[in-house]
Amino acid sequence: MKQQMSLKIKRILTQNIGLKILAVILSFVLWLLVVNVDDPTQSRTFSTAVEILNEDVLTDAGKYYDIADSSRTVSFRVTAKRSVIERLSGSDFTATADMNFLDENGRIPVTIVYKGTYNGVAISTKRVYLTVTVGDEMSTKYPIEVETTGEPANGCAVTETSVQPDAVTVTGPVDNVRRIARVVAYADVTDLNEDTSANALLHFIDADGNEVDLSRLNVEFDHAQLEVKVTHRKSVPIQVSASGELAEGLVLESVTAEPNTVELLGDSDVLNGITAVVIPSTVIDLSQITESLTTTVDLTSYLPEGATLADKNHSQIEIRVTLGSGSTKNLNLPTSKIEVRNLADGLNVRFLDDTINFTVSGSRSDLNSLTEAGLSGHVDAAGLGAGTHRVALVLDGLDRKYQVQATAVEIEITQ
């Protein structure tokens, strides 16, 4: 019985052996087909940022490089099983560009490496390049200017501004650095009434007054410490007069200063005691003048102690002396307003006329304002005895800008 069973099994295993082998092979091929249909190989494009290596190759040579934003990432094709590729992202790859391999066309080959752990990941062998722009680099040191904005408090003025550091170095492409015309720190002094300090932003200005784009420039620092000093100010008139006598026939029309006021700076205690800046009369000597003239005077020589000019660039003023041929005016003076001086004891005197007529010369404007009410006079009787005498009249209270013709007065002296 057992022997019959063994023979039966042997017959089954050995019968049609070729077909059985073929069936096994077909089954294996079918298995491979099923596996590959369910997880086929696929290709996909990925992108990643490019890391620059050895960039000091250019900077050490005094060069700069620039990469357009669109060139800072590269795209590449990756092939892998679908089950793998669906798990990949751009972060699974590194892209590097070594400046040592920069060619004459400004291109650097990019090396892309898969850093993950999946097997069967293949990167396209197509060469990818990074394009860069290379140019000369320069450094320039710019002085920092201070400009004030706004107005300080009423009666105050800014006397001094300073900034620390007072210069800043800018490095970058030659064309960009040279675009800077000036560097300015703005100090807002609106309603300021005391010294102050502030940390101010620096402004890099081109020749047209516009802000320069700093994105491609390396600025040493972008803020600086401002110091602003404030003092008090006051506007006072300029007073000017003259000395000496004009030649006969000339009349002084006016002596004026232009401008006729000046702004002074100083402590409030000093300024409160100043009512005017006085130009001494010795500056204008009428005896040396034969015609109208204009002369220049430096105000700084005549400022009161403790005061300075608000605008030191305008210390010069003009003094204008205007002469004229003049006009005349006849006036009457009652003898009751004439004093007799130096009359000897025991003598009496009387005037033979009740009024004395005399002629005054001067400018028309001055003569128009001259009245008899404020005038008086005197005569000198020294050495005179009894009898009738003609003595010179001296007018009192008459400004030196007027000229009086010689006038005689008749008096009678009795014992």
Q: Do residues 127 and 141 share a domain?
A: no
Last residue of one domain, picked from the residues 75, 109, 131:
131
Q: What is the pLDDT of residue 199?
A: 94
Task: Name which residue leads in pLDDT, 7 or 347.
Answer: 347
The reported pLDDT for the residue numbered 311 is: 87
Angstrom distance (rounded) from CA 50 to CA 94: 7
Cα separation, 286 vs 52, whole angstroms: 86
Range of the domain at 410: 327-414
Residues 177 and 255 in one domain: no
Q: Edge to edge, what strands does the sheet with 327-334 contain? A: 327-334, 355-362, 403-404
β-pairing verdict for 196-205 and 182-188: antiparallel
Number of residues assigned to the chain:
415
| Average pLDDT score over residue span 205-212 | 95
Q: What is the pLDDT of residues 144-193, one digit of tens each?
A: 999 999 999 888 888 889 999 999 999 988 888 999 999 999 999 999 88
Q: Are residues 319 and 263 in the same domain?
A: yes
| DSSP assignments along 279-298, one per residue | EPGGGSBGGG-SS-EEEEEE
Token representation of residue 90: 């751009």
Domains of the chain: total: 5
Which three-class secondary structure state does DSSP give residue 263?
A: strand
Identify which of 48, 100, 99 has the alpha carbon closest to the alpha carbon of residue 72: 48
Per-residue pLDDT at 406: 79
**Tell me, what CATH number does 347's domain have?**
2.170.120.30
pLDDT of residue 35: 47
Asked whether the beta carbons of 225 and 197 are under 8 A apart, the reply is yes
Nearest to 411 by CA among 372, 373, 385, 375: 385
DSSP of 37-68, one letter per residue? HHS-EEEEEEEEEEEEE-THHHHTTTEEEE--
Q: List the alpha helices (DSSP H) in 104-255.
A: 174-178
pLDDT digits (tens, 9 = 90+) for 264-315: 999 888 888 899 999 999 999 988 988 889 999 999 989 989 999 988 888 9
Same domain, 307 and 258: yes
Kindly state the average pLDDT of the residues 25-41: 63
Q: Which residue has the higher pLDDT, 6 or 203?
A: 203
**Rounded CA gap, 193 and 195, in Å?**
7
- Residue 43 is predicted with a pLDDT of 93
Q: Is the predicted pLDDT of residue 33 greater than 60, yes or no?
A: no
Q: How far apart are CA 229 and CA 269, in angstroms?
A: 18
Please give the residue that has the higher pLDDT: either 29 or 138: 138
What was the pLDDT predicted at 396? 87
pLDDT of residue 3: 56
Domain end point (choices 113, 131, 149): 131
Q: What is the pLDDT of residues 357-394, one digit of tens each?
A: 988 877 777 788 888 888 899 999 998 999 999 999 99
Residue 317 shares a structural domain with residue 339: no
- Is this structure's pTM higher than 0.85? no
Which of the listed residues 67, 96, 131 is the one where a domain comes to its end? 131
Q: Are residues 105 and 84 in the same domain?
A: yes
Do residue 145 and residue 225 come from a single domain? yes
**How confident is the model over 314-366, as pLDDT tens digits?**
899 999 998 876 778 899 999 999 999 999 999 999 999 999 998 887 777 77
H helix intervals, 204-340? 268-272
CATH number of the domain enclosing 101: 2.170.120
- The answer to whether residues 188 and 262 belong to one domain is no
Mark whether 143 and 227 lie in a shared domain: yes
- Nearest-angstrom CA–CA distance, 136 and 197: 39
- 332 and 308 fall within a common domain: no
250 and 163 within one domain:
no
Distance CA 344, CA 386 (A): 10
Shared-domain flag, residues 248 and 218:
no
